């Protein structure tokens, strides 16, 4: 989460035209990005280690130089390499060539990487519930969804997600909606690369889980997070083609449009249709040449 927050924090700073020396409030960033203050603080500490922000004497951080002068490579620090290995692991799990239990030595040989990089990959996958360390030795990967589980999962989501949007307590943060729009539009502008499937799915999760969070019901968020964990393998090993990326992003933007206009009934209907279409794609044969 901390790594994924880095570009989003920088994007927010650029959008707000924050000048050098200006304090970066953790609380407002956490609200805007729909996360707790702990990962925000860790991400700012990471930026400070690279000299992009500076620690203030009384606590907190401030921007060290104009945001437009900061290149993506200065804060990404190998994230594309990590995502590439995450995609390989997901593909092998979906294909059945990577067993549910594996030792670090086996995986080092399989992927021809050293232990430090392998541990970074496994720890990233562990952060999102795809794998866990076994007591004593090796790693245990979470189970894969079959077609029956996919159908049941989407049926469950059609029950809770549109209903959450229609809750009287539903109140999405306008800054969060604007941030979601910017990120989806940026995804549409970039040429598609299969390693982008990790960032795409995590953005997708943030969108749907953010809608649940806007309802003010913590149990809805927890229920959807469990569904997200079950779907990660098939989505990290993306084989639905770049066309589906465009459709999904545009459908999300259409829902955002309605929410920004206060048309929750229409947004809920669009969300239900979006889930129906996503289920059809999930159950259809996948593209082989993406």
Is residue 23 a contact partner of residue 60, using CB atoms and an 8 Å limit? Answer: yes
What is the pLDDT, as a whole number, of residue 287? 45
Token pair 């040989």 is found at 109
Q: Residue 79 and residue 225: Cα distance in Å, rounded?
A: 23
**Average pLDDT for residues 22-34, to the nearest whole number?**
84
Q: How far apart are CA 7 and CA 15, in angstroms?
A: 12
State pLDDT tens for residues 109-168: 999 988 888 988 898 888 778 899 888 778 999 888 788 988 999 999 999 999 999 999
What DSSP string runs through 238-262?
--S-HHHHHHHHHHHHHHHHHHHTT
pLDDT classification of 230: cutoffs 50, 70, 90: confident
**Whole-number pLDDT of residue 9:** 83
Closest residue by Cα to residue 216 from 179, 168, 269: 168
Residue 8 clears pLDDT 70, i.e. is over it: yes
Span 233-251, average pLDDT: 88
Average pLDDT, the chain: 85
pLDDT tens-digit profile of 212-227? 999 999 999 999 988 8
Task: Give percent above pLDDT 70 in the chain.
Answer: 91
To 5 degrees, how large is the angle CA 251–CA 254–CA 256?
115
**Over residues 60-75, mean pLDDT:** 68
Query: Which alpha helices (DSSP H) does 113-217 contain, by range?
Result: 115-127, 147-166, 174-189, 197-214
Dist CA 85 CA 160 (whole Å): 33
pLDDT at 136: 72
């Amino acid at each position: 989460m901390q790594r994924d927050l880095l570009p989003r924090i920088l994007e927010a700073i650029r959008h707000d035209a924050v000048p050098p020396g200006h304090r970066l409030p953790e609380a407002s960033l956490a609200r805007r990005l729909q996360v707790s203050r702990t990962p925000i603080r860790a991400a700012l500490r990471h930026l400070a280690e690279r000299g992009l922000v500076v620690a203030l004497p009384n606590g907190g951080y401030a921007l060290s130089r104009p945001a437009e002068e900061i290149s993506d490579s200065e804060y990404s620090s190998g994230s594309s390499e990590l995502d590439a290995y995450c995609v390989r692991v997901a593909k092998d799990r979906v294909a059945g060539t990577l067993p549910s239990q594996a030792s670090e030595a086996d995986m080092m040989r399989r992927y021809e990487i050293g232990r430090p990089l392998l541990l970074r990959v496994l720890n990233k996958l562990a952060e999102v519930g795809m794998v866990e360390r076994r007591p004593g030795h090796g790693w245990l990967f979470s189970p894969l969804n079959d077609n029956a589980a996919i159908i049941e999962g989407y049926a469950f989501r059609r029950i809770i997600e549109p209903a959450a949007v229609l809750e009287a307590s539903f109140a999405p943060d306008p800054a969060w909606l604007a941030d979601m729009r910017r990120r989806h539009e940026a995804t549409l502008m970039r040429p598609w690369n299969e390693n982008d499937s990790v960032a795409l799915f995590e953005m997708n999760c943030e969108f749907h889980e953010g809608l649940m969070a806007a309802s003010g019901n913590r149990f809805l968020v927890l229920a959807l997070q469990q569904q997200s964990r079950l779907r990660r393998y098939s989505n990290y090993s993306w084989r639905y083609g770049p066309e589906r990326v465009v459709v999904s992003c545009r459908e999300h933007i259409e829902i955002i449009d309605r929410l920004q206009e206060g048309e929750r009934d229409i947004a809920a209907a669009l969300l239900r249709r979006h889930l129906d279409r996503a289920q059809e794609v999930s159950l259809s044969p996948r593209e082989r040449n993406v």
